[in-house]
Amino acid sequence: MNLNECSGRTLAFLGDAVWSMYVREALIRSGQGKGSRLQKLSIAYVSAKAQAHIYEKLHAEGFFTEEEEEIYRRGRNANGGAVPKSTDVQTYRMSTGFEALIGALKLNGDISRIDEIWEETGKILEV
Protein backbone atom coordinates (compact mmCIF):
# COMPACT_ATOMS: atom_id res chain seq x y z
CA MET A 1 0.00 0.00 0.00
CA ASN A 2 1.24 3.45 -0.89
CA LEU A 3 0.90 5.85 2.03
CA ASN A 4 0.56 8.75 -0.39
CA GLU A 5 -2.81 7.31 -1.41
CA CYS A 6 -4.12 7.66 2.15
CA SER A 7 -5.34 10.97 3.48
CA GLY A 8 -4.03 12.30 6.76
CA ARG A 9 -7.43 11.70 8.33
CA THR A 10 -7.41 8.07 7.15
CA LEU A 11 -3.99 7.51 8.67
CA ALA A 12 -5.18 9.17 11.88
CA PHE A 13 -8.24 6.89 11.96
CA LEU A 14 -5.96 3.85 12.02
CA GLY A 15 -3.41 5.48 14.33
CA ASP A 16 -6.08 6.23 16.91
CA ALA A 17 -6.99 2.55 17.09
CA VAL A 18 -3.36 1.39 17.20
CA TRP A 19 -2.43 3.87 19.96
CA SER A 20 -5.52 2.89 21.98
CA MET A 21 -4.48 -0.77 21.76
CA TYR A 22 -0.97 0.04 23.01
CA VAL A 23 -2.40 1.97 25.94
CA ARG A 24 -5.02 -0.58 26.87
CA GLU A 25 -2.62 -3.50 26.68
CA ALA A 26 -0.01 -1.70 28.78
CA LEU A 27 -2.54 -0.75 31.45
CA ILE A 28 -3.91 -4.28 31.69
CA ARG A 29 -0.44 -5.85 31.77
CA SER A 30 0.60 -3.48 34.57
CA GLY A 31 -2.41 -4.52 36.68
CA GLN A 32 -3.84 -1.01 36.83
CA GLY A 33 -7.31 -2.14 37.82
CA LYS A 34 -10.45 -2.69 35.86
CA GLY A 35 -13.41 -1.01 34.22
CA SER A 36 -13.82 2.68 34.89
CA ARG A 37 -10.34 3.00 36.44
CA LEU A 38 -8.76 1.68 33.24
CA GLN A 39 -10.78 4.17 31.20
CA LYS A 40 -9.68 7.08 33.37
CA LEU A 41 -6.05 6.04 33.19
CA SER A 42 -6.17 5.57 29.43
CA ILE A 43 -7.22 9.20 28.94
CA ALA A 44 -3.78 10.26 30.11
CA TYR A 45 -2.42 8.67 26.90
CA VAL A 46 -5.20 8.86 24.31
CA SER A 47 -6.74 12.28 24.83
CA ALA A 48 -5.99 14.99 22.30
CA LYS A 49 -4.18 16.94 24.99
CA ALA A 50 -1.98 13.97 25.92
CA GLN A 51 -1.13 13.11 22.32
CA ALA A 52 -0.29 16.73 21.51
CA HIS A 53 1.95 16.85 24.58
CA ILE A 54 3.71 13.63 23.57
CA TYR A 55 4.32 14.95 20.07
CA GLU A 56 5.58 18.34 21.31
CA LYS A 57 8.09 16.76 23.67
CA LEU A 58 9.43 14.27 21.14
CA HIS A 59 9.53 16.89 18.40
CA ALA A 60 11.52 19.26 20.65
CA GLU A 61 14.04 16.47 21.23
CA GLY A 62 14.42 15.90 17.47
CA PHE A 63 13.09 12.38 17.90
CA PHE A 64 11.22 12.16 14.59
CA THR A 65 12.72 11.73 11.14
CA GLU A 66 11.91 14.24 8.40
CA GLU A 67 9.65 11.66 6.75
CA GLU A 68 7.77 11.15 10.03
CA GLU A 69 7.43 14.92 10.44
CA GLU A 70 5.93 15.13 6.94
CA ILE A 71 3.35 12.47 7.79
CA TYR A 72 2.57 14.33 11.02
CA ARG A 73 1.99 17.55 9.04
CA ARG A 74 -0.33 15.72 6.62
CA GLY A 75 -2.45 14.57 9.53
CA ARG A 76 -2.32 17.89 11.33
CA ASN A 77 -3.35 19.82 8.23
CA ALA A 78 -6.13 17.43 7.19
CA ASN A 79 -9.46 19.13 6.73
CA GLY A 80 -12.72 18.09 8.29
CA GLY A 81 -13.74 16.51 11.51
CA ALA A 82 -15.52 18.11 14.40
CA VAL A 83 -13.29 19.38 17.18
CA PRO A 84 -14.42 18.09 20.58
CA LYS A 85 -15.61 20.75 23.01
CA SER A 86 -13.02 19.57 25.53
CA THR A 87 -10.06 20.77 23.45
CA ASP A 88 -8.97 23.63 21.23
CA VAL A 89 -8.42 23.38 17.47
CA GLN A 90 -4.61 23.53 17.65
CA THR A 91 -4.39 20.72 20.21
CA TYR A 92 -6.87 18.62 18.25
CA ARG A 93 -4.91 19.05 15.01
CA MET A 94 -1.64 18.18 16.74
CA SER A 95 -3.17 14.99 18.10
CA THR A 96 -4.54 14.14 14.65
CA GLY A 97 -1.03 14.56 13.24
CA PHE A 98 0.37 12.26 15.94
CA GLU A 99 -2.31 9.65 15.20
CA ALA A 100 -1.58 9.90 11.46
CA LEU A 101 2.07 9.15 12.15
CA ILE A 102 1.18 6.10 14.24
CA GLY A 103 -1.21 4.91 11.51
CA ALA A 104 1.44 5.32 8.81
CA LEU A 105 3.99 3.38 10.84
CA LYS A 106 1.46 0.59 11.33
CA LEU A 107 0.63 0.44 7.62
CA ASN A 108 4.34 0.30 6.82
CA GLY A 109 4.75 -2.56 9.30
CA ASP A 110 7.18 -0.51 11.38
CA ILE A 111 6.01 -1.80 14.73
CA SER A 112 9.47 -1.39 16.25
CA ARG A 113 9.25 2.37 15.66
CA ILE A 114 5.84 2.51 17.35
CA ASP A 115 7.43 0.58 20.23
CA GLU A 116 10.17 3.25 20.43
CA ILE A 117 7.57 6.02 20.55
CA TRP A 118 5.67 4.12 23.23
CA GLU A 119 8.86 3.67 25.28
CA GLU A 120 9.63 7.39 25.08
CA THR A 121 6.03 8.19 26.03
CA GLY A 122 6.56 6.41 29.32
CA LYS A 123 9.42 8.81 30.05
CA ILE A 124 7.28 11.84 29.18
CA LEU A 125 4.04 10.98 30.97
CA GLU A 126 4.09 10.16 34.64
CA VAL A 127 0.99 8.07 35.07
What single-letter DSSP state applies at residue 82?
Answer: P
Active site residue 16: yes
Catalytic residue among 16, 88, 110, 115: 16
Segment 57-64 long-range contacts (CB within 8 Å, at least 24 positions apart): 57/124, 58/117, 58/120, 58/124, 63/117, 63/120, 64/101
User: So which residues are the catalytic ones?
Assistant: 16
